[in-house]
Amino acid sequence: MMNWKRLLLIFSLLFGPAAQAVAQGKSQFIPPPLRLYIPFEAAWNGMLEVLEKNDFEIFQQNRAQGSMVSSFREYSSGLLTESHISKIGEQPKLIDGDWLSVRYQYEVFIELIGGRETLLTVYANIEALQREYLGTETWVKIQTVGNLEARLLTQFGQSLFGQNFSLQEPKKGFWERDPTYLPDPAERIPRTTGPERP
């Protein structure tokens, strides 16, 4: 008969990595597109203003397609690079060499859905500079965990709707739902009931 310590060891070896992967997955939140009840012009100009406030230059923009790409910005360099990569992306295993620096840029897409309804999507492109022991340096793409996208969308929302704006992580089971919904200002005002208003 197996003793309980052996069963515990077998259980932890079999299910430990899976539990760790689930725990890591819970800490990641890539924000879905924002559905906004504002005109395209307001969304476009608002995003340009937020990027400029954060000292990003617009590397490429196409108003007709509703897309803009920012310049790259250094996130970290030097000895702290390796520990800082994990704050914004999934750090790949380094077989040999060191991480020298990490940088990122934003890709923004603004889509007109209706007369006063737009859909705003943000992607962060992250790259880390790897130097191999033989001296070769290459930029490696890093998978984002959503922190950079959430920061930019929050700043954008606060610039348009006030400091109380925040992105809320979808609850369990909501991943398949429509993008985050910001109601029309008229719908946000609570209705009062009284003799004059039914």
One digit per residue, the tens of pLDDT, for the chain of length 198 reads 445 444 344 434 444 443 343 334 434 567 889 898 999 999 999 999 999 999 999 999 999 999 999 999 988 877 778 888 888 989 888 777 788 899 999 999 999 988 789 999 999 999 999 888 888 888 999 999 999 999 999 999 999 888 888 877 545 444 445 555 555 545 444 444 444 444
Q: Is residue 41 part of a domain?
A: yes
Q: Number of structural domains, the chain?
A: 1
- Domain residue limits at 134: 31-163
Q: What is the rounded distance in angstroms from the CA atom of residue 156 to the CA atom of residue 178?
A: 20
What Cα–Cα distance (Å) separates residue 155 from each residue in 83, 134, 150?
Answer: 25, 42, 9
Check residue 37 and report its DSSP letter.
S
Report the b/e string of 83-114 with b at 16+ CB within 10 A.
Answer: ebbeebbebeeeeeeebebbbbbbbbebbeee
Q: Is residue 24 part of a domain?
A: no
Predicted confidence at residue 3, as pLDDT, reads 54
Q: Is residue 23 part of a domain?
A: no
Q: Is residue 100 part of a domain?
A: yes
CATH code, 134:
3.30.530.50
Predicted confidence at residue 99, as pLDDT, reads 85
pLDDT, tens digit (0-9, with 9 covering 90-100), for 124-134: 999 999 888 88
pTM score of the predicted model:
0.69
Only one residue has tokens 């890709």, namely 107
What Cα–Cα distance (Å) separates residue 190 from each residue in 185, 186, 187, 193?
Answer: 10, 9, 7, 10
